[in-house]
Every structure is written in structure tokens, then in C-alpha cells.
Amino acid sequence: MFHRIKKWLVVGLSTLLLIISASLIATQLYLSQPAMTEKIRAVFAKKFGGDLAFRDLRLNILTGLTVNDLRLNAETTPFLTIQRAELDYSPLMLFRKRIKVNRIELAGLRLDFAHRNNTWQIPRPNHNVITRPLTLSTGHNTFVILLDNLNFRDTAVTVRTGAADREGEIFRADGLNLTGRLIVQDHQRAASGVCSIRAMQFGSTLTLRDLTATLTYADDEFRFTKLSGRAYGGEVEGSITVPATREKENQHYGVYLHLSAVDAAALLRDFRATPAPLRARVDLYCDFWAGLNHPDLIQGKGYFTAKQAQLTGLKTLDLIATTLRHPALRDTNFDLTGSFKIADDQLTFYTLELISPDLKISASGTVNYDATLDLDALLTVNPALIERLPATAAEQFSTQPDGTKSISFKVSGPSAAPVCNLADKLYGVPRR
């Protein structure tokens, strides 16, 4: 019994001495805030690079750290700003040369990735801290940092090229909230979490809203998977992959999206198509990517489908209606399908089909970013429609095995005033 009481006394006295020692250390830290502030800046600059500034730093070895208005510059522009950062950790882990962060919460975080003069304006462009253990060196001891609980609230992320304005933006996420954990040790480098995003915008052409996703970090890549949300009155799901290092050649970021039952008119307005020539609910599958060294040179591919689509204001369709002497074609609803790729500053259609009860228009070719067309097309019509044409025009059609008639033609020039050679092939008269 005496030995047991003795053991309890030793444990109790040891715990009391530990608390007193920690309190004395905490008091010493509060009494040397300027020195501690400069120490944190020096350690941060050595590890991450850049010019770190903050105010209202409160550090206590028993409770944690709080800092307001933190700013990290890259070159002369802000790279990272945080309105408020709070950190809680386990002081007993210090005796094991560990800084175990139980919770780190960042509110009002802003990340601005700028690409200018063929390089990223970030504190240390060729340095990836995630590939190495996170450590803090005091001069006498080195502590490994363990992050078990990360919370980002009201975060904004911007990726842009050129000047510091919205014109150069190629990506923007607003209202991002993230809860997760990060492990960076000698034999383990991984992160995982769940996030919600109020709005995500790709350039000035595509906006997604009210998103949720799972975030993982593995194999030197950040991956947003199980991405889902709203888009243009419909739904969206997909994934995003971003490399965390540029040590490998030909590194690309990639985005895959499936937009279902979206309002085509609203989508096209974001692509600067005014007035929108298509009214329908569209399913769109797209996969696009770009190299990290040339983030604005976007490439992609995809396909789309729509049922009972209304096409209005298309000059090419008006020319075909006039040539076929079928004015009702302007009011016809079409089933629409197509597959495409984006490369070399142009949109290339592998296939583009408009199908109605009376006819089918199949096309392939390119649309440049200045809206210049270069399409090869095939018009297939039923025999009843052919009977409305003069005999000499009807003879220009080839008969297919199913009894339909077809003729090839070409569409070129600006989309606002295209040139179509269909009338020339049927009547010997070019039409514009």
C-alpha cells in the first residue's frame, strides 16, 4: 500500500512540475512576443519563402496560437491573406519532439495564383514543401508538425494570367469551406477532407454553384472527386485534378464535368452567344486540361445531346430553309447530338447532327474563336420533301438504301453572314 501511495505522489508531483514548467514557458513567450514574432517570420521564410506579415499574434504553449490579418507576398503582390487563424495543439507532445495540431481554423483565406512572364508568382516556385516533413527548428530542437484537423472557412482561390484583374482569370472559387486532415511525415504524405463551394467559375464562360466534393492528396496530386452541384438550371458532377509539384515534365491540370438537363440558352449566354441560338435542355460531357507552364492554353473534348431543341437566328439554317423552299424548317424542333475537341484556338466538331422528321443535317469541321465557320455537311431528306423541288434540283440528290435522298454541301465564313453552296449545287446560284 505504501509503495502504491508513493507511486501516486511521484506521478502527481511530476504532473504538477510539468504544469508549472509549461506555465513558466508560456509566461516567457508572452514576455518576448517581438522576438517570437521575428522567430516565426524567419522560420516561415526559410521553409516557404516570401514576405510574411501579421498582427495581433497571441501565442501560449498551453492553449495555442491566434493571429489576425496574416499576409504572405510573392514578388510585390499578395499571394495569401487570412483574416484570422486559430491553432490548438497538444503541449505534452512537445516532449516527443512533435507539435500535434489538434485544430487549425483559417477564416477569410484568399489564395491568388498568378502566372506572368512564363512563371508562377508564388513565394518559392520550384519548392514543394508537401514532399518533405513539416518541421519547426528552434535552434536547439527540431519538431515535426502533425496536422490532424484543418478547417478553412469562406476561402477564395483565384488563378489568373497577366495583370491583377478579373480579365485574366482562368479559374475562381468563392465561398469554399473545407474540413480535413494533412499528414506529411517521412513515410506518409496524404491529405483528405470534404468541402463545399458556393461558386466555381472557369474563365468567364462556365459557372457552377452550390458544390460539394471530396478532396484527397496522394501521389503529388490534389484531387477533387465526387464533385456535384448546380449549373444553369440543371445539375453537374465531375472531378478536378491538380499536380502539387512541377518536378515532373508535362504536368497538366484536368477537369471532367457532366452537366445534365442544363438550360442551353443560359449556358450559351455565358459563352457570349447573344441572342442565344439554342433553346433546349442539354446534357453535356466535357473533359479539358492545360499544362502548368501554359495554364491559359486550354484543350479539351466532349459531346452533347438535346431533345426537341429550338434553333433560332441561325443564318445557315435560314439559307437551307430558303433553298429547300421549306419555310417551316425555321420553326422545326430538332434532336441534337455532337462530339468536339478544343485545341489550337478553335472548336472542332467531329460530328454534329440535327435530326427532325423531315430531314437530317450532319456536319463536321471547325469554328474559330472569331466565330468563323468551316464545315462540311450532308443533308438527308425524305422523298416527300424532294417532291417540292424542281426536277433539276431533285436530280442532284443521291438515293440512299433506305429511300432517303442526300446531298453534300459546305458552310464557311463568319457565322453572322455565312456562305452556303447548297443553292449553288441545286440551282447554280450561290446564296449568302
Give tens-digit pLDDT for 361-410.
999 999 988 889 999 999 999 888 888 888 888 889 998 888 888 999 99
The CA–CA distances, whole Å, from 49 to 43, 72, 75, 83, 192 equal 9, 9, 10, 20, 25
In angstroms, the CA 348 to CA 353 distance is 14
Place of cell 469562406: 154
Q: Which of 284, 326, 327 is nearest to 303 (CA)?
A: 284
Residue 386 domain flag: no
Lowest mean pLDDT among 8-22, 233-247, 293-307, 378-392: 8-22
pLDDT at 48 over 50: yes
Share of the chain above pLDDT 90, in %: 33
| Prior bond of 275 cis (ω within 30°) | yes
- Strands (E) across 264-368 are located at 278-279, 281-291, 294-311, 333-343, 346-355, 359-368
Burial 100-117 (b: 16+ CB within 10 A, else e): bbeebbbebbbbbbbbee
pLDDT band at 70 (very low <50, low <70, confident <90, very high): confident
295 assigned to some structural domain: no
Q: 14 pLDDT exceeds 80?
A: no
Nearest to 352 by CA among 374, 369, 331: 374
Domain membership of residue 126 (yes or no) is yes
370-382: b (≥16 Cβ within 10 Å) or e: eeebebebebbbe
pLDDT category at 150 given cuts 50, 70, 90 is: confident
Q: What is the mean pLDDT of the chain?
A: 80
Counted domains in the chain: 1
Q: Lowest mean pLDDT: which of 9-18, 100-109, 164-173, 261-270? A: 9-18
Label residue 13 by pLDDT band (50, 70, 90).
very low
Least confident span in 67-71, 89-93, 185-189, 343-347? 185-189
DSSP strand pairing (77-90 vs 372-381): unpaired
What is the distance between the alpha carbons of residues 308 and 282, in angstroms, rounded to a whole number? 10
Report yes or no on 311 lying in a domain: no
Q: If pLDDT is split at 50, 70 and 90, which confidence band does 174 have?
A: very high
Does residue 120 contact residue 127 with C-beta atoms inside 8 Å? no
Phi, psi dihedrals of residue 388, rounded to the nearest 5°: -80, -15
pLDDT of res. 166:
57
Would you call 323 exposed, middle or buried from its count of C-beta atoms within 10 A (0-12, 13-18, 19+)?
buried
Assigned domain for 261 exists: no
pLDDT at 64 over 90: no
Ranges 130-134, 349-353, 383-387: which has the least confidence: 130-134
Q: Is 99 within the bounds of a domain?
A: yes
Determine, yes or no, domain membership for 348: no
Sequence-distant (6+) residues with CB within 8 A of 58 are: 65, 66, 67
Q: Which of 225, 408, 422 is nearest to 323 (CA)?
A: 422
Instruction: Please indicate whether residue 181 or residue 408 has the higher confidence score (pLDDT).
Output: 408
Higher per-residue pLDDT: 68 or 182:
68
C-alpha cell at 427: 440551282
| Among 186, 189, 212, CA closest to 199 | 212
Structural Rg of the chain based on CA atoms: 31
Check residue 348 and give its pLDDT: 95
What is the domain range of residue 112? 36-166
Banded model confidence at residue 28, pLDDT cuts 50, 70, 90: very low
Q: Where is average pLDDT lowest: 144-153, 214-223, 279-288?
A: 144-153
What pLDDT is attached to residue 239? 97
Residue 72 belongs to some domain of the structure: yes
**Confidence (pLDDT) at 50:** 66
